[in-house]
Structure 1
């Protein structure tokens, strides 16, 4: 087996498996009080800009919802959507009402290396600890991203894992020489 692997490395000396190529966004979720935080980072190759990000928490294990008002489907503490940090420029976003599980953000500028952070409160509806969303409760929530470049457009999606990270390039990969 070692001989086979050594021969493969000799045959392909200039080729190595690299990180995801092309368009890629990494979304992270952090539980906090009084607000939870999402950070979106465009980790794409040069030229790929993010135009739209859709966060769908409906398929999450905890059936997580947005808790943005004092009254409604959410429990106890609430926090509306607020821009927090980053270099990306948001152009528009969908309205979020208490109990929604879908949020869409549109950007006028979100180049490779840019990030965008926002705060909002989340609650689970699956009977875990409703006011504290743990990493396994947000797992399986979906992030769908639209990208554009001079080469065209692309749509990628990723799912939050048990570390509260969704990576639209996790299963992508390419060979570079």
Structure 2
């Protein structure tokens, strides 16, 4: 009987709130690579300061934003494709940078924001050449975010090109 009461209480607690996750997904594309930031919760998320850091990525990745510099052949500057996303502070990403800092004003529940940019690897030998980036090459890159100026979240890209930031609960 006691076991059943605990189970019922646990289910009640889980159903009264939603876990809020922010998922960052990388997808290689031609000529632009895409990052999609998804709010998989049932609550809106406000004031997100996010860093995507490729320093420790398996492919030693860089952002390739100009014709000259460290990138290979095709380059693409930062471009918002959906949502209230902007670059933090400087307003640009330099060719060869490994860190990209964003401000996301808000992402509604179960909605996305996204941007495109070119990402190249700097390996001497890579699976698809330096122009194309595999999910395994972005693995070990990191994402950090500060939500509403106080909740700090960290995640690492997996070998499927996804990083999941686990947030505190939010009301339904």
Q: TM-score range by the shorter chain?
A: 0.7 to 0.9
Deviations 1:128-159 (A, max 9, x none): 121110010000111111112xxx73010111
**Structure 1 runs of 4+ with >6 Å offset:** none
Shift of 1:13: 2.8
Other-structure match for 2:143: 143
Match of 1:60 among 49, 52, 57: 57
Give the direction of change, closer, same or farther, for the CA distance of 1:65–1:35 in structure 2 (3 Å limit).
Answer: same
Other-structure match for 1:49: 46
Give the direction of change, closer, same or farther, for the CA distance of 1:173–1:92 in structure 2 (3 Å limit).
Answer: closer
Q: How many residues align?
A: 162
Deviations 1:67-106 (A, max 9, x none): 1111100011111111112xx3135434211100100111
Give the direction of change, closer, same or farther, for the CA distance of 1:142–1:18 in structure 2 (3 Å limit).
Answer: farther
Give the direction of change, closer, same or farther, for the CA distance of 1:43–1:131 in structure 2 (3 Å limit).
Answer: same
Give the 5 Å matches for 1:88-99.
88-93=83-88, 94=90, 95-99=92-96
- C-alpha separation in 2, matches of 1:11 and 1:22: 20
- C-alpha separation in 2, matches of 1:103 and 1:140: 15
Give the direction of change, closer, same or farther, for the CA distance of 1:14–1:42 in structure 2 (3 Å limit).
Answer: same
Contiguous gaps of at least 5 residues in structure 1: 1-6
Report the 3-state secondary structure (helix = DSSP H, G, I; strand = E; otherwise coil) of the residue aligned with 2:137: helix
- C-alpha separation in 2, matches of 1:113 and 1:50: 16
Report the 3-state secondary structure (helix = DSSP H, G, I; strand = E; otherwise coil) of the residue aligned with 1:14: helix
Give the direction of change, closer, same or farther, for the CA distance of 1:173–1:8 in structure 2 (3 Å limit).
Answer: farther
- C-alpha separation in 1, matches of 2:10 and 2:85: 38
Other-structure match for 2:35: 38
Contiguous gaps of at least 5 residues in structure 2: none
Give the direction of change, closer, same or farther, for the CA distance of 1:98–1:58 in structure 2 (3 Å limit).
Answer: same
